[in-house]
Amino acid sequence: MFKNRQIGDTGLEVSELGFGAASLGNLYKAISDNEAQETLDAAKASGINLYDTAPRYGLGLSERRLGDALRTLPKSDYVISTKVGRILTPDHKANVKELRYGFDTPMPFDSHYDYTYDGIMRSFEDSLQRLGLAQIDILLVHDIGVDTHGEQDPYYYQQLASSGYKALDELRSQGVIKAVGLGVNETEICERVMGIGQFDCFLLAGRYSLLEQDALDTFYLNVSNTEHPLY
């Protein structure tokens, strides 16, 4: 069993070890629905209550499988986070027999970046439908930053700064969600968005581990010195 920790001042209590659901979207290879369910059953039995997914993961497949597994549980048993920044659209030409974006998924969709107010609101509503759940606890802005967008970073960053963050803050202020953050692969963008508004948490993929701890040099210090430390 795992200890729980609170995310900032959100009131959300999450297990110290969470479940990343990219594999439920058939990351690199397909798994069966039964295998996905059994994996989630094992995670729940171990005491994990934090489950993170994204529209990107299997082009909606991960969200569908995760929602199916959690739907019959009391809401108090789990905290769910998903991501915004991409919109899924039907693609009748999709070759579902080959890897797309690294996923062996049968879902006939494509994804498009959109960090605007309308794009984030649509992504949130679409995720509720795919999950088949009435509530999402945490929304993370997915893959914003130079690492993903290169020369187009200023364009997408401006979308988030000028209108996208407003959508996140609005949903949080209304109590529709409890926390907002980023789900990214670089520390620099986490530091940069602190000038946009108040973020409750950051999911830093693969950039802070036993083998890689460069994030401690600036990111941890900058976050710890803010008025509202993040945990």
Concerning whether 155 is annotated as a catalytic residue, the answer is: no
For tokens 């409750």, the residue is 200
Six-digit token pair at 101? 């974006």
Active site residue 52: yes
Q: Which of 52, 114, 126, 137 is catalytic?
A: 52
Exactly one of 51, 78, 83, 143 is catalytic; name it.
83
Contacts 24+ apart (CB under 8 A), 132-136: 132/64, 132/67, 132/68, 132/71, 133/67, 133/70, 133/71, 133/80, 135/75, 135/80, 136/80, 136/81, 136/82, 136/177
Q: Which residues contact 112 (CB under 8 A, 6 or more apart)?
A: 86, 87, 89
156 is an active site residue: no
List 3, 29, 51, 57, catalytic entry:
57
- Number of Cβ within a 10 Å radius of residue 230: 17
Which are the catalytic amino acids?
52, 57, 83
